[in-house]
Amino acid sequence: MDKKKYIIDIDGTICNTTEAGYESSTPIEDMIRTFNTLYANGHHITYWTARGTTTGIDWRELTEKQLEDWGVKYHVLNLKKPEYDVWIDDKCINPDDLDRL
DSSP characters for 49-100?
--TTTTT----HHHHHHHHHHTT---SEEE--PPP-S----TT---GGGGGG
CATH number for the domain including 18?
3.40.50.1000
Question: What tens digit of pLDDT does each residue of 51-66 get?
Answer: 999 899 999 999 999 9
Question: What tens digit of pLDDT does each residue of 1-51 get?
Answer: 699 999 999 999 999 998 889 999 999 999 999 999 999 999 999 999 999
Question: What tens digit of pLDDT does each residue of 57-98 get?
Answer: 999 999 999 999 999 999 999 999 988 888 888 888 888 888
- Does residue 32 belong to any structural domain of this protein? yes
- Does residue 13 belong to any structural domain of this protein? yes
Total count of domains within the chain: 1
Rg (the chain; Cα; Å): 13
31 secondary structure, DSSP code: H
**Domain span at 76:** 5-95
- Does residue 18 belong to any structural domain of this protein? yes
- Does residue 74 belong to any structural domain of this protein? yes
| pTM summary value | 0.89
